[in-house]
Amino acid sequence: MPVTEYLERNAKLYPDEIALVELNPDEKDNRRTTWKEFDLIESERFVPYRREISWSIFNEKANRFANMLMGRGVKKGDKVAIIMYNCLEWLPIYFGVLKTGAIAVPFNFRYDADEILYCAELAEVDVIVFGPSFIGRIEVNADRLSKGRLLIYVGDNCPSFAESYHELVADCSSKSPDVKLTEEDYGAIYFSSGTTGFPKAILHKHRSLTQAAEMEQIHHKTGRDDVFLCIPPLYHTGAKFHWMGSLVAGSRAVLLKGTKPETILSTVSSEHCTIVWLLVPWAQDILDALDSGALKLSDYELKQWRLMHIGAQPVPPSLIKRWKEYFPNHEYDTNYGLSESTGPGCVHLGLENIHKVGAIGVPGYRWECKIVDENDTEVKRGEVGELCVKGPGVMTCYYRNEQATAETLKDGWLYTGDMAMQDEDGFYFLVDRKKDVIVSGGENIYPVQIEDFLRRHDKIKDVAVIGLPDRRLGEKTAAIIEIKDGMTCSREEIEEFCNELPRYKRPKEIIFSEIPRNATGKIEKPKLRERYGADRLVQQENMS
Strands of the sheet with 307-311, listed across from one edge: 48-54, 18-28, 252-256, 227-230, 275-278, 307-311, 331-338, 343-348, 362-363
* Contact call for residues 482 and 460 (beta carbons, < 8 A): yes
Helix (H) / strand (E) containing 213: helix 206-219
Q: Which residues pair with 464 in a beta bridge?
A: 480
* Contact call for residues 327 and 308 (beta carbons, < 8 A): yes
**What are the boundaries of each domain within the chain?**
53-205, 437-543
Within a 10 A sphere around the Cβ of 477, how many other Cβ atoms? 22
What does 399-465 look like in DSSP terms, one character per residue? Answer: TT-HHHHHHHEETTEEEEEEEEEE-TTS-EEEEEEGGG-EEETTEEE-HHHHHHHHTTSTTEEEEEE
Whole-prediction pTM value?
0.82
What does 247-258 look like in DSSP terms, one character per residue? Answer: HHHT-EEEEE--
Cα separation, 268 vs 221, in Å, equals 19
Cα separation, 226 vs 17, in Å, equals 13
pLDDT at residue 315, as a whole number: 78
CB-neighbour burial class of residue 119 (10 A; exposed 0-12, middle 13-18, buried 19+): buried
312-353: pLDDT as tens digits: 666 778 889 999 999 999 999 999 998 999 988 999 999 999
* Contact call for residues 272 and 227 (beta carbons, < 8 A): yes
Cα separation, 431 vs 420, in Å, equals 5
Cα separation, 437 vs 525, in Å, equals 12
* Contact call for residues 512 and 454 (beta carbons, < 8 A): no
Residue type, 409: L
* DSSP letter assigned to residue 279: -
Phi, psi angles (nearest 5°) of residue 388: -125, 145
Closest CA to 206 of 228, 186, 236: 186
437-543 architecture in CATH?
A: 2-Layer Sandwich (3.30)
346-386: pLDDT as tens digits: 999 999 999 999 899 999 999 999 999 999 999 999 999 99
220-256: pLDDT as tens digits: 999 999 999 999 999 988 899 999 999 999 999 999 9
Q: What is the CATH number of domain 53-205?
A: 3.40.50.12780
Cα separation, 212 vs 239, in Å, equals 11
Q: Would you write out the chain's pLDDT as a tens digit for each of its 544 residues?
A: 899 999 999 999 999 999 999 998 877 655 444 333 333 333 344 456 899 999 999 999 999 999 999 999 999 999 999 999 999 999 999 999 999 999 999 999 988 898 899 999 999 999 999 999 999 999 999 999 999 999 999 999 999 999 999 999 999 999 999 999 999 999 999 998 654 457 899 999 999 999 999 999 999 999 999 999 999 999 988 899 999 999 999 999 999 999 999 999 999 999 999 999 998 888 989 999 999 999 999 999 999 999 999 876 667 788 899 999 999 999 999 999 989 999 889 999 999 999 999 899 999 999 999 999 999 999 999 999 999 999 999 999 999 999 999 999 999 999 998 889 999 999 999 886 667 778 776 667 878 888 888 988 989 998 999 888 876 667 888 999 999 988 999 999 999 999 888 788 899 999 999 988 876 667 888 788 888 875 554 444 444 4
